[in-house]
Amino acid sequence: MTMDLIIFLVALSILVLVHEIGHFVMAIKNGIKVEEFGLGLPPKIFSKKIGETVFSLNLLPIGGFCRMYGEEASFAEGDKKRILRQAQDRAFCDKKPWQKMLVVVGGVLMNLVFAVVVFAGVYTVLGLPEETEKVKIIDVVSGSPADKANLKEDFWIYKVAGKAISKPAELIEEVEKYKGGSVILIIMDEGKERLYNVEVRKDPPEGEGSMGVAISNTEMKKFPWWQFYKGIGVGFKEAYFWGEIIVGGVYKMISGLFMGQIPKDVSGPVGMYQATSAIKKEQGFLALIHFFGVVSVNLAIVNLLPFPALDGGRMIFVAYEMITKKRVNEKFEVVVNNVGMVILLGLLLLVTVGDIVRIVR
């Protein structure tokens, strides 16, 4: 359990670090002075000044920050005069809107790039998924008819009741004909045909299927190291795939809130830790790395939401400045962001309580 917690905290810290590096790099590239780059939230444990930036490690491992010169303090007139007098060209508040936008978007882009790298790395090690003309058992539910019939993972199903099948849909269609009875599956094992008599349930538990197996017609095929670009291509596709799912989930959650529905499938740090522990135990370390690639995509998309204190909220203020050629009232912006942060922390607390209640039950 201790090791699982360490892995979870390290992985979460890496995701936050990657995000803040995106802001940091864009700030430096646009000539903005970064006063402090921190991992975790205060109180401070350790800090060291390198060049003009203080790099700090903080006690609370739930976030990070990239504090730029003239980012928030500039709303006070005295501070603004000081900035204009000392280093106008180094202050975030006095940069052009498009430069501010690059800095704000930098964190999101880095999380997406990190996810692509993670997915590409995992598929480079495991191989690329390719469709075959065979149907493979990839999971057997404990206690299910398939388990009782001694079907195992990695078995290839060759025929159903004497009929050859090559796709999961064909297997499902044939098995459906035997609901309430049993069916003979012919498995190809080490070049030999083996027969298994499996019960086909009429009303199986939700998510298990009539026999209690998960099936696929894809196989992982490895490729030479010098064809690493194939892994990168699949990495982009995987990031896009999870991006679509997460966007759909976020839309469903937000629209549900407007209709008075309480989100049921939302997890906070406790739920993520639980998932981390389960994936590591049941699927292995590579699956765990893949999971945090998905979390990185999730972090990027959530940060794009137009909500105060998130990158998406800051982008709205910058977009307003681009369109109107006027800056948003700086006092108003700070107040809105502070209120947004309080709301976000409140939501995080509620989700965490929900996670704990679910685990206890």
pLDDT at 1 over 70: no
pLDDT at 72: 65
pLDDT one-digit tens code per residue, 253-279: 777 767 766 566 677 777 788 888 888
276 vs 355, higher pLDDT: 276
pLDDT number for residue 112? 93
Q: What share of the chain has pLDDT > 70, as a percent?
A: 93
Backbone angles phi, psi at 184, to 5 degrees: -95, 120
Is 35 among the residues known to form the active site?
A: no
Alpha-carbon span 312 to 316, nearest angstrom: 7
State the Cα–Cα distance between residues 314 and 65, nearest whole angstrom.
15
Cβ neighbours of 329 (radius 10 Å) = 12
Q: What confidence category does residue 49 fall into, taking pLDDT thresholds of 50, 70 and 90?
A: very high
Q: How many CB atoms lie within 10 A of CB 358?
A: 13
Fold observed for domain 128-221: Pdz3 Domain (2.30.42)
Query: Count of alpha carbons within 13 Å of 349, Cβ hemisphere only?
Result: 6
Give this prediction's pTM. Answer: 0.77
Share the mean pLDDT of the chain.
Answer: 84
DSSP state of 329: P
Catalytic residue among 20, 71, 238, 330: 20
Q: Average pLDDT, stretch 203-223?
A: 83
Q: Is the pLDDT of residue 88 over 70?
A: no
pLDDT at residue 25 in the model: 95
Domain borders along the chain are: 2-123+264-360, 128-221
Task: Note the helical H segments in 159-268.
Answer: 168-176, 228-258
In sequence order, what are the residues at sequence separation of 6 or more whose Cβ sits closer than 8 angstroms to the Cβ of residue 30?
A: 95, 99, 102, 103
The pLDDT of residue 35 is 92
Q: Is the pLDDT of residue 170 over 60?
A: yes
Does residue 75 have a pLDDT over 70?
no
| CA atoms of 243 and 303, how far apart (whole Å) | 13
Higher confidence at residue 218 or residue 147?
147
Residue 93 reports pLDDT greater than 90: no
Residues 6 or more apart whose CB falls under 8 angstroms from that of 210 comprise 145, 175, 176, 179, 200, 201, 202, 204
> What average pLDDT does range 216-230 have in this prediction?
79
The pLDDT value recorded for residue 87 is: 58
CA distance 350 to 49: 37
Weakest-pLDDT range from 17-31, 42-56, 171-185, 341-355: 341-355
Amino acid at 282: E
The token pair at 20 is: 């803040």
C-alpha distances (whole Å) from 40 to each of 325, 339, 350 are: 35, 21, 21
